[in-house]
Structure 1
Amino acid sequence: MSQNKPDKETSDHASYSLKGTFISVMLVGAFIIVSWAGVYGLFISR
């Protein structure tokens, strides 16, 4: 059994850029906040 494979996977994952993931999470978060604000606004207006 070789112990080199986990080291290689770790080094490959370390080289990935997470900028796209961060932007996606921020967009989903913004959508949730806007949706919540819209529903809250409807609730208050009634």
Structure 2
Amino acid sequence: MGSLQQKNERSSEKDQSPNLKGTFISVMLLGVFIIVSWVGVYIFYMMR
């Protein structure tokens, strides 16, 4: 009976976890923006 209870707790924890796909995409886009900005500033500095 303890095994069944543990199984139910695990499945309910799985259902309650939020979907973080949108958060991951937002963070990756922010990272790309920061990298592109730094590369742009570096190229601008080197052209002067």
RMSD of equivalent CA atoms: 2.0
Q: TM-score, normalised by structure 1?
A: 0.72
Q: Which residue of structure 1 lines up, in the alignment, with residue 4 of structure 2?
A: 4
1:32 corresponds in structure 2 to 31
* Larger helix proportion of the pair: 2
Q: Which runs of 5+ in 2 are unaligned?
A: none
> For the pair shown, which has the larger CA radius of gyration, 1 or 2?
2
Distance in 1 between the 2:11 and 2:43 partners?
A: 52
By how many angstroms is 1:8 displaced? 1.0
List, as ranges, runs of 4+ consecutive aligned residues in structure 1 with deviation greater than 3 Å.
none
Q: Percent identity?
A: 14
